[in-house]
């Protein structure tokens, strides 16, 4: 019915597969199921790829409205295929944002609020404008803490069950700076020679939040926060359960390869990141107020580009969806 050719805008359709929980399918399977069952079209979306490796802009949907099972299935399939999904012009408030988050799975509690204060909170504020309108500047501890996000990372890889997706709703953006850069660790894995891929299969990596945040400053993590996030072991090579696609699972939180020396570990991890983050593999996203962006933490790495908090305001609200379980059980 269509070929996934980049720079092409096309329509996609999804059919409800059965009375039980819908299965996440690739697009050719979705279309095949639709044709075979002869069911009515449940939704029509316009999808425009935005980078050769990953990413799509999706229109034709109002995320403020409740989503039926067929649409949720379609969104999961889009995430599996494109990894980053931009829904422009949604303008969601926190209630609608959280409702959409819950439609994709179990919301993940903020590790910062949980670790520092013992409070379950599903939102994080990215930027320098607080809920009460207070604007923080470059010298504020919270602003300095967020500079840790300027390292290549994947969200929550330091938790035993890492996140599935992050969901960002944009309120205010600076006039200059503040972009977020993304790369596909799936595409980077596919570019590796086969012998290197085979060498990495079966290895595990220690992910350590305190290790990564120590690069920001010695006081970046409170004792209670550090105690709530002990180092965890993750698979180095992860496999998408819906598509079978593989990727390396590393980033700034990846401290070392289990059983390897620190030197050998850093050679592998840093060498892969250097190759994966070449300029032509990077997609730099310019945030727009009102858009909602979902990215797949299982296979994308991202980092902030920074901005001048003394000159500009920035406020974005983020939720995350829990993964299916520990990566060692995948």
Percent of the chain with pLDDT over 90: 75
DSSP string over 204-248: EEEE-HHHHHTTT-TTSS-HHHHHHS--EEEESEEE-TTT--EEE
What's the DSSP call for residue 46? E
Report d(CA 159, CA 297) in Å as an integer.
Answer: 12
Q: What is the mean pLDDT of residues 210-221?
A: 82
**SS3 for 250?**
coil
Sign of CA dihedral 106, 293, 113, 122: negative
Give the phi and the psi of residue 172 in degrees, each rounded to 5: -135, 145
Look-up of token digits 């819950």 = 102
Say if CB 58 and CB 85 are below 8 A apart.
yes
In this structure, what is the dihedral angle of CA atoms 95, 96, 99, 105, given to the nearest 10 degrees?
A: -120
Residues 182, 302 contacting (CB under 8 angstroms): yes
Domains annotated for the chain, with CATH where assigned, are 1-82 (no CATH), 106-329 (3.60.130.10)
**Digit-coded pLDDT (tens) for 97-126:** 999 999 999 999 988 777 777 788 999 999
Of 35-44, 81-90, 154-163, 226-235, the one with minimum mean pLDDT is 35-44
Helices marked H in 38-125 — which ranges? 69-82, 94-104, 111-117
**CA nearest 186: which of 79, 108, 279?**
79
Q: Give the pLDDT confidence of 24-37 residue by residue, as tens digits.
A: 344 545 434 433 34
Dist. CA 299–CA 237, nearest whole Å = 10
- pLDDT beyond 60 at 14: no
pLDDT score of 43 = 53
């Amino acid at each position: 019915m269509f070929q996934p050719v980049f720079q092409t805008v096309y329509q996609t359709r999804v059919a409800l597969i059965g009375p039980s929980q819908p299965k996440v399918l690739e697009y050719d399977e979705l279309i095949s199921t639709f044709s075979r069952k002869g069911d009515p079209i449940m939704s029509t979306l316009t999808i425009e790829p935005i980078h050769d490796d990953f990413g799509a802009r999706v229109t034709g949907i109002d995320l403020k409205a409740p989503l039926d099972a067929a649409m949720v299935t379609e969104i999961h399939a889009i995430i599996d295929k494109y990894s980053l999904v931009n829904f422009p012009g949604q303008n969601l408030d926190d209630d609608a944002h959280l409702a959409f988050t819950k439609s994709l799975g179990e919301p993940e509690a903020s590790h910062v609020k949980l670790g520092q204060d013992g409070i379950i909170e599903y939102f994080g504020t990215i930027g320098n404008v607080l809920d009460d309108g207070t604007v923080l500047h470059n010298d504020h501890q919270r602003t300095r803490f967020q500079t840790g996000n300027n390292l290549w990372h994947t969200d929550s890889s330091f938790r035993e069950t890492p996140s599935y997706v992050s969901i960002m709703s944009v309120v205010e953006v600076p006039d200059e700076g503040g972009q977020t850069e993304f790369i596909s660790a799936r595409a980077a894995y596919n570019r590796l020679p086969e012998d290197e891929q085979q060498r990495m299969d079966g290895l595990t990596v220690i992910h350590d939040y305190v290790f990564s945040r120590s690069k920001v400053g010695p006081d970046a993590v409170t004792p209670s926060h550090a105690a709530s996030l002990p180092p965890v072991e993750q698979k180095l090579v992860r496999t998408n359960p819906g598509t079978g696609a593989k990727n390396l699972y590393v980033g700034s939180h990846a401290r070392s390869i289990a059983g390897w020396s620190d030197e050998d570990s850093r050679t592998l991890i840093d060498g892969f990141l250097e190759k994966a983050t070449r300029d032509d593999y990077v997609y730099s996203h310019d945030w727009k107020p009102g858009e909602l962006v979902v990215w797949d933490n299982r296979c994308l790495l991202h980092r902030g580009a920074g901005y001048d908090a003394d000159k500009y305001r920035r406020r974005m609200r983020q939720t995350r969806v829990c993964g299916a379980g520990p990566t060692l059980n995948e």
